[in-house]
Structure 1
Amino acid sequence: MTFGTTPRDAAQVRQVRQDTDPVWRRTPTGAIGLGTGVVVLAVGLLVGRADVALLGVPLVLGAAWTGRPGAPGARVATRETTVRLTTADGPVVPGTLAAVLEVDPPGEAETLQVRVAAPGHRTVDLVVAAAPRRLDLRLATVRTGPQPTFVADARGYGPGGATAEDPIRVGAPESLVLPATMPLGRVPLPSRLRGLTGPHVSRRLGDGGDLRDVHPFTPGDRLRRIDWRTTARRSPDLDELYVRRTYSTAEATTILVLDSRDDVGPDLRTWRGHGARRIDEPTSLDLARHAAASVAKAVVDAGDRVGLEDLGRRRRPLPAAGGRRQLRRLQHGLAMTSPLGSPQRRLRPPQLPADAIVYLFSTLLDDESLHLVRTWREEGHRVVVVDTLPAVRPVAEEHLRIAWRVTSMERDDRIAQMAAEGVLVVPWTGTERSRARARFEAKVRADERHHAAPVRLSGTTGAHR
């Protein structure tokens, strides 16, 4: 069974159909069956073979049955197939598209054909017995942000497939695909830690788990800190009390800076804004969203605070906070980022919290990223640059090859300057997430070996544990 006519939207079908127009039409299947039956019956009669003639009788009777006054196709059906395609209920799974297809065929239908398509994916056809059905649609995608979803065609068939109704097409609304995350190992921390509580051990006195020393009791010490064994050993008459002093804990603040001023793919021909990008290839912004979400998850899992800043839009940034709720906010904020007009130079870099580490996710295609990195380093921030430019495919056009060669050399010079100034540059390219994770962790380990410096706290110095 195939869709013999061009599908129309459900609203369009209801608008153009009049009360006297047939919803059901005869298909070539009925005509072929009738013609075959007549030929077989005639051949059997001509050659005097009753057994051959009897083979054509069922075909002729079937065609006559479907053409009876009460059969679909001989009259206007009571109603048409009802098709609804809505967004799936429940929590949104990052990296997936989900929808619900509800089909309710009329009583005249014997079978039902459903065809579901999605951009960049294979079309799926399903033929089932006519009955109200609810189908859950789900697929994985490497693209993030607002994405087109499913398009469904439905058509009912009468007995034997001799008649069929006009196909009806419905489309699901655009869906917001959240960036998926993958587990990372250790992530770089800022050179200074702030706060009185957190997951990291500092060199400052306070409430913590690591023992610093045993000290005589002084005003301000808590009674629960008294070490009675040491007191009994050093002062049997209890003339003096001794307390256990510990190191306090501190937290790290991470700011994710997403460069959404451009969104380019592996095909150079699409960089000029012409031509469609492949739906199965992630763009630079897709890679940036995925990398930023992964870093955010690692920071949240470590108990630290993380915030988000978008270079492409002049809007209030997402302030740094911790917890799973903050991670969901970050994923939604990352999915909503998109290029807005022509890239504009910022008069000043975004204002960041003091003693925060900065992760810049950029394609490094202009000098703006180098200017921002230098400004942040002058302010005392530690900066990690994540290169999100996808692997560019070679092209046949000579002018595009020359343009890309010049652009890539300028880009390599920026990366070399950042590395010479002590900035950690991590590539995040390719479609295989395991390779991106391995490159990230290898770069972090190398940076820790060659730039091992003590973590400083506000006003004090010490080693980070």
Structure 2
Amino acid sequence: MTGPTASAPPSTEPESSAGWAPTPALGRAVLVAGLLLVAGVLLGRVDLVVLAAPFALGTAYALRRRPTALPQVWITSAEDGPLVEGGDVSAAVGVGNPDTVDYDLVVVRSRVSPWLRISRAGFAGAEPADPPPAEAPSAPGRGRSVADRPFVTSVPSGAAVDLELSGRALRWGRHPVGPAGARVAAAGGLLVSRAVITEPVGVRVYPRTKPFEAVEAMPRAAGLVGAHHSRRPGEGGELAGVRVFAPGDRLRRVDWRVSLRARQLHVAATLSDRDAEVVVLLDVLAEAGRSGGVDGAASVLDTTVRATAAIAEHYLHRGDRVSLLEYGPGARRLRPAAGRRQYLTVLEWLLDVRAEAAQHEPYDQVFGPQLLSSDALVVVLTPLLDERSAQMLARLARAGRFVVAVDTLPADLTPPKDRGWAEVAYRLWRLDRETMIGQLREHGVPVVRWAGAGSLDQVLRDVARLATAPRVGSR
């Protein structure tokens, strides 16, 4: 995020005593004072009346100024720039006192997404003094965020305090901070307010992109601008050869060394630089593996999202157009575009990727008419856990598309530990999956495992060679 955000501007509660209730301490003080006064009058004992006087006077003095307004609670989150996995996250839960009476005790508690590991929390601000050591935030326990515990402070009249939360973002996505709530004790602890709860604020955490570089040429480019060298002669920077000068050739292309040797004008021929369209297709029909965050194991969705961000960043940096498609019941899509703005749009689009099971074949729903360009490179990120995914890849290959399948199934996926036939069934499933991958390769669909930099180089080289090979046609 690029600026502070809040769940809602703090609203002022109506000036009334609604929402405040007596505490057990008030009931005990009234009961003790009443019993002593009644007993002193009935028994004629002045000492009992004297003993009741401190309880009655103390209660009356504490209730001389009763609060009428409930506290205001809001959540703010501010980041200097886009928050990426592994980056530092900070938020604050604010509590304001719009009343003219001091709040003796304020108990604040907030829920935080488990993927936001809050390691430090405490009240900041110049209004109240720091809470006593017994109320200070303790060190986080193993596997638990310090935000899971309540925090206590006091708020003077007309002031506000902030409970600052700081930690680390462990995983991509939209993670909530909140809801947060506060309860207040006033009048010496004799009155307590109802809980005031505010709505959560979403924190956007973008995926961390692994280094990725594909140096091979695209199978077939579409436009006449870009960084890829096509097989078509034209204006560009890649030398295609030297040929005899022809009418229309520019003089700056004349190769004088060859011309002097051959005693005839020759020009240097170049290949045109062309842009390409890359379609990244995300298979979201199934999820496998357990996500351990940025420092732990990666699930299928983790690998899919991070690889998509890396591929999009690479090709958009080279000036190509990138579009995204979801192969699932939602069939979300992002139109093709180029530039820095498209990359930021891609990151925002990836935050909403979810695994969804589909009851029917989503092929026709995902691939509408005229949706895919015939020259586009289709990179399919799939765990190949659903037979419909393999059928989709085969149909794209039969339609003449340039398809590359990237296997996103975790390599360290462990078999089930149940007794009986679970391990045997797991081994049979692995064999069946390897057979499916072999059949896809027979259909002309290359299947590679995502490994960061250079994962697609060999595949793109083979696809480019097939795209430029002569095709036999029937007369």
**Where on the TM-score scale, by shorter chain, does this alignment land: which range?**
0.5 to 0.7
Residue 260 (structure 1) aligned with residue 269 (structure 2):
no
Residue segments in structure 2 that go unaligned for 5+ positions in a row: 1-9, 30-53, 118-144, 471-475
* Higher strand proportion (structure 1 or 2): 2
Aligned counterpart, 2:310: 294
Residue type of the alignment partner of 1:455: A
- Secondary structure at the counterpart of residue 182 of structure 1: coil
Q: Equivalents in 2 of 1:417, 1:235: separation in Å?
A: 55
**Which of 93, 108, 133 lines up with 2:161 in the alignment?**
133
* Displacement of 1:82: 0.6
Structure 1 gap ranges (5+): 1-10, 32-62, 268-279, 429-438
Deviation, structure 1 residue 222:
3.7
Describe the shift of the 1:459–1:251 C-alpha distance in structure 2 as closer, same or farther (beyond 3 A).
Answer: same
Matched residues, percent identical?
A: 26
Q: Match for 2:73: what amino acid? A: V
**Secondary structure of 1:208's match?**
strand
For residue 300 of structure 1, give the secondary structure of its aligned residue in structure 2: helix
Does residue 1:455 correspond to 2:464, yes or no?
yes
Aligned equivalents of 1:324, 1:358: Cα separation in 2: 21
The residue number in structure 2 matching 1:247 is: 271
Distance 1:415 1:65 in 2: 84
- CA positional deviation for 1:459: 7.0
Residue 20 of structure 1 deviates from its aligned partner by: 6.2
The answer to whether the 8 Å contact 1:266/1:391 transfers is no
Q: 1:410 aligns with which of 432, 441, 446?
A: 432
CA distance in 1 between counterparts of 2:257 and 2:307 reads: 51
Of the candidates 319, 328, 343, which is equivalent to residue 344 of structure 2?
Answer: 328
User: Secondary structure at the residue paired with 2:390?
Assistant: helix
> 2:396 is matched with which residue: 376, 380, 392?
376
Q: CA deviation at 1:198?
A: 1.6
User: Do the aligned partners of residues 262 and 144 (structure 1) sit closer, same or farther apart at CA in structure 2, a change above 3 Å counting?
Assistant: farther
Cross-structure match for 2:17: 19
**2:237 is the alignment partner of 1:209:** yes
- Give the structure-2-normalised TM-score: 0.63
What TM-score comes out, normalization by structure 1 length? 0.65
SS in 1 for 2:180: strand
* Aligned counterparts of 1:452 and 1:186: Cα–Cα separation in 2: 10
Q: What residue in structure 2 maps to residue 8 of structure 1?
A: none
Does 1:153 find its partner at 2:174? no
Deviation of the 1:195 alpha carbon: 3.1
SS in structure 1 of the partner of residue 103 of structure 2: coil
| 1:344 equivalenced with 2:344 (yes/no) | no
Shift of 1:90: 7.5
Q: Distance in 1 between the 2:318 and 2:78 partners?
A: 32
Aligned counterparts of 1:264 and 1:252: Cα–Cα separation in 2: 32
Q: Would you say 1:425 and 2:447 are equivalent positions? A: yes
Q: Is the 8 A contact 1:257 1:311 kept in 2?
A: yes
In structure 2, what is the Cα distance between the partners aligned to 1:459 and 1:66?
Answer: 98
Distance 1:82 1:220 in 2: 77
CA contact (8 A) 2:279 2:322 kept: yes
Deviation at 1:155, TM superposition (A): 3.9
Aligned to 2:127: none
Instruction: Give distance in 2, aligned partners of 1:111 and 1:224.
Output: 83
Q: Is the 8 A contact 1:202 1:250 kept in 2?
A: yes
CA–CA distance in 2 between the matches of 1:208 and 1:19? 78
Residues 385 and 126 of structure 1: CA distance in aligned 2, closer, same or farther (over 3 Å): same
Q: How far did residue 342 of structure 1 move?
A: 3.2
Alignment match, 2:211? 183
Amino acid at match of 2:278: T
SS of 2:395's equivalent? helix
- Per-residue CA deviation, residues 292-321 of structure 1 (Å, 9 max, x unaligned), is 122211222233222112111465733333
